[in-house]
Amino acid sequence: MQLCTAFTLPWLLHSSLAVAQRFTFQNFAQRDGLRNLNFNCMLQEGNGSLLVCTEFGLYRYDGSRFELVPTVEGSSSPLIQGIAQDLAGRIWVSTPQRLLYRDRLGVHGVGPAGQNLKIDLQTPIVATPGDPSQVYFISQHRLMQARTQDNGVSWQILEAYDETTLARYPMLTKVKGAYADREGHLWVGCDDELCETGHGEVKRWGRAEGVPADEWSAVLEDRRGNVWARGDHHIVRLGKQESQFVSEDKDVPATVLELRKPCLIEDPQGRILTNTADGLARWTQGSWTVFNKQNGLPGGLVQTMIFDRQGSLWFDGGKAGLQRWVGYEQWENWTTEQGLASNLIWAIMRCAGGRLWLGTELDLERMEATPQGRELQRVGKHLHVRRVQSIAETADDHLWIGSDDGSIVEFDSERKSSRLLAGERNVYQVLVDRDDRVWVLTASGLFWVDRSGGRREMRLPPVPPTRFFRAVEDASGDLIFTSDEGIFRLSKERWSHIQMPASYKPAYNTQIAMGKGGTFWISGTSPSVLQIRIDGDTATEVSEASVPMLASANVYLMASDRRGWVWVGTDSGVDVFNGAEWRHAGEEDGMVWNDTDTGAFFADADGSVWIGTSGGLSHLLHPERLFAKEPLELELNQAKLGALELKRGVRSTAKWGHYPLVFHVASPDFARGQELRYRYQLSGVDDAPQETEEHDIRYSFVPDGRHRLVVTAIDAANHRVSEPQVLEFVISPPWWRTAWFFALAGIGSALLIVAAWRWSNRIAIARRHALERQVKERTRELEEKNASLLDARAALMEQATRDSLTGILNRGAIHALLQQEIERARREEQPLVAVMADVDHFKRINDIYGHQCGDSVLREVTQRLRSAIRTYDSLGRYGGEEFLILIPGLGDAESVHLIERIRKIIEEKTFLCGEASLHVTCSFGVAWLGAGDDLEALIHAADQALYQAKANGRNRVEFAVTDAGVRV
């Protein structure tokens, strides 16, 4: 294993760098409702909402927005410095002068009105486990107690230690911090020592017990029973049943521990986190791991931290705002900022020796774990390979590398050299089978490498010379290949062409992966992915998946891991199928980027998976957590019918009136909150359920009657639906719709009918004459209106055939025109060219600059396309950022020249979007009308060529080809 265990080719290694992982953080600031970014403490309520203490008030986050919570009466923005929740559910908060608690009845102050408690800054409130009758706080370095003896009706404030205890232990008059362990013992920083009090006793922990002199302000008992303490300069730990603290700060510089407010918390995995002067530090297996700006953390000092119920870490980032660590202990990422040569990852492979190899757009790189972290080394500079599409390893420890430019390179570790084989067009994959044969799948065809007798010659198997994309080897050793001509299998040296189900429509760069039970998964245009079973030379459908089961229909990669789970990579993240259900993961979960790349997947032996994207490398540490059965919660609140507040479980009644109905919905699922939709239906108003991403919903008017509002939250990507939340209310009818009014109206109607009958006889003759005059007048008016309708019809016809944004033909109109051009081309025996054009990276333009900018770009692209084509060519918007151009009667060379000129006109001048200047390009797929082609075949050929243009790098023109060459 020389290449992977002792790679000693100094001429290959041109850079080496120990790099840190990059993590994703969700930022919350003023735009989210936080008017102040100086944070002191946090707490998660029982209903899942997050409470955040700031210097200008207490805020609650319910998954949609931060709202100010009333605390101190008469002050809209008090300094909140401490928070805790007791066993009775009371939320306690402290200001420098006041101690208050909030329950279902409102906010209550503790202590005499107007009393200034002089609560010390940067100190906590301590609610004792098992006893809701008392809480502790610190005032002028004295530990104080708020105590009730009547279940919270009244409270007393007194010192926690009596005068006798203080006289015996004078260090208790200089309390710095406080903490209650699971047994109810109080730990406080007392002078420069630690003191433990409980059951009327005081135990000092000082230098003799391993506690150095320090200002001890943070204490924590972990799940194993260890007691941790943090001072301004030291961190110590007391093991369960131990009598001596031990120092745990040997690998942390003392300077990074000097903070105004040290804190300690435990993560869901049982590891200790603390804040430092430049970020965070985490204790893992006897040492500290530091996280700072190199990992993507904001630069502000961390003053408070909390883990929510879903395992996400929240911490303050100073002026950068409140931060949520997205995908904590689930995702780690690397980009060029962490040392990658390129963010575009095409291939991932771990060799037999254990090193991880990466094929990127610019280099071949390897990553390995070192005591200093993961180390990246670039090894491809002298191999003259770029766009490394695939990496494989043979039994002799040689790496076989396939490049997008057609290069096929063999690394020979024994001779410390590399060998370049004859190049082919676009190497899609290099595969080494269990017999150690090297297969190369290219745009020119399928090859195997003859290595007998020291030779390195490319051989052609007996299959059509067409594009081959991906290959897998099943448990029996059979090889399955995907190509433009369908699916081929090599079984015991026999080749066969697999007959696919009639419902399956193939796609360019067809992906394939092994499934459970000897099945295969394959990508296509319809359905997006199809599970098949191959019996003999025939494939039968087992199951399928498309949007919305998948996040996107654009499938770029497919692979299976050691569990047999199937992974589908798209331009919207990854979807994984465990044999029973699908789950989705993307940027919102901590992945570095949503746009995945073909072949960039590796399932590691520890169960984790590596995924390559066009924005960097992602490592999913625990895929099994994607299938954790976490219920989706929903909060329906702030519901009002006019001024009437509606509550769940109570059927409210309102008198008739023009009332608006408004209500707020949110979910404390902070990890998926941005991806949730809310389904709601109001009986008597909605004929069918409505869906929205908005959190505030309004009905401008609700008619009288009995109504029932039903709301559910939906996480479509993970197939979760919350329990429905229901509100019921009644609006009384107006007086004119009551029973007594209908009775009076019936009598009056009868009298009116008699009077009307008599009156009608008198005026019948007069009305007849009047009607005759009206008929004549009406006839004249109808004739005039008929002429107006003819004009309006012509205008509507124009609107029906034109795209509203660009003004060119819409999809239906260009389709109809193409059919006419095909018929004319056949009748006049003239050539006809169809060109599919697509704006490159258009989704990124919308994501970065907004949809208004995207619309501006589409209009400008349309104008440039119009200016480039001939007057008798046709242009239509095919959909989204796709355009269809029809070029009739032009020869091959002239068509190629015209299309290339169109491409250059798009790219040669920048696009202006407000103050932004964008470089926009288009990819083009070109197809000529063949003798047997109909409209669908011609569009499909152009569309396949467009896919090839995008796969080959975008901003280029690709032509549809057959066995005979260019379609003409």
- CA torsion sign for 44, 48, 52, 57 is negative
What pLDDT was estimated at residue 630?
83
What pLDDT was estimated at residue 577?
96
Give CA–CA dist 359/399, Å, rounded.
12
Look up residue 535 and give its two tokens.
């019996």
15 pLDDT exceeds 50? no
Q: What is the percent of the chain with per-residue pLDDT over 90, rounded to a whole number?
A: 66
pLDDT in tens, 447-458: 999 999 888 899
What band does 787 get if pLDDT is binned at 50, 70 and 90?
low
pLDDT in tens, 576-633: 999 999 999 999 999 999 999 999 999 999 999 999 999 999 999 999 999 987 889 9
Query: What is the chain's Cα-based Rg?
Result: 36
Residues 6+ apart with CB under 8 A from 228: 219, 220, 221, 222, 235, 236, 237, 238, 248, 264, 272
250 pLDDT exceeds 60? yes
143 pLDDT exceeds 90? yes
**Whether 824 contacts 888, CB under 8 Å:** yes
First to last CA, the chain: 53
Residue scoring higher pLDDT (793 or 90): 90
Instruction: Tell me the DSSP string of 911-929.
Output: EEETTEEE---EEEEEEE-
What pLDDT was estimated at residue 382?
63
Residue scoring higher pLDDT (353 or 935): 935
What band does 278 get if pLDDT is binned at 50, 70 and 90?
confident
Average model confidence (pLDDT) for the chain? 89
What band does 372 get if pLDDT is binned at 50, 70 and 90?
low
CB atoms within 10 A of CB 5: 13
Under DSSP, the state recorded for 505 is B
Mean pLDDT in residue range 829-846: 93
Query: What pTM was computed for the model?
Result: 0.73
Give CA–CA dist 835/710, Å, rounded.
49
Give CA–CA dist 918/839, Å, rounded.
12
Give CA–CA dist 54/32, Å, rounded.
14
Under DSSP, the state recorded for 898 is H
Give CA–CA dist 433/429, Å, rounded.
13
The greatest distance separating any two alpha carbons of the chain, rounded to the nearest whole angstrom, comes to 121
96 pLDDT exceeds 60? yes
Of 269, 141, 233, the closest CA to residue 195 belongs to 141
Give CA–CA dist 244/221, Å, rounded.
15
What pLDDT was estimated at residue 11?
35
What band does 272 get if pLDDT is binned at 50, 70 and 90?
very high
1 pLDDT exceeds 50? no
Give CA–CA dist 950/846, Å, rounded.
19
What pLDDT was estimated at residue 790?
59
What band does 892 get if pLDDT is binned at 50, 70 and 90?
confident
Amino acid at 893: A
884 pLDDT exceeds 90? yes
What pLDDT was estimated at residue 772?
76
pLDDT in tens, 282-327: 998 888 988 988 888 887 789 999 999 989 999 998 788 999 999 9
What pLDDT was estimated at residue 789?
65
What pLDDT was estimated at residue 411?
79
Give CA–CA dist 923/881, Å, rounded.
11
What band does 798 get if pLDDT is binned at 50, 70 and 90?
low
What pLDDT was estimated at residue 16?
47
What band does 413 get if pLDDT is binned at 50, 70 and 90?
low
Mean pLDDT in residue range 130-136: 93
Task: Quote the strand ranges of 422-565, DSSP E.
Answer: 427-432, 438-442, 446-450, 457-459, 468-473, 479-483, 486-491, 494-498, 512-514, 520-523, 529-535, 538-545, 555-560
What pLDDT was estimated at residue 415?
67
pLDDT in tens, 738-768: 777 778 888 888 888 888 888 877 787 777 7
Lowest mean pLDDT among 5-19, 56-70, 202-216, 348-362: 5-19
Instruction: Tell me the DSSP string of 677-695.
Output: EEEEEETTT-SS-EEES-S
788 pLDDT exceeds 80? no
What band does 533 get if pLDDT is binned at 50, 70 and 90?
very high
In the sheet with 399-403, reading across from the earlier edge strand, the strands are 388-393, 399-403, 408-412, 417-421
Burial class (CB in 10 A: 0-12, 13-18, 19+), 921: middle
3-state DSSP call for residue 438? strand
What pLDDT was estimated at residue 138?
97
Mean pLDDT in residue range 909-933: 90
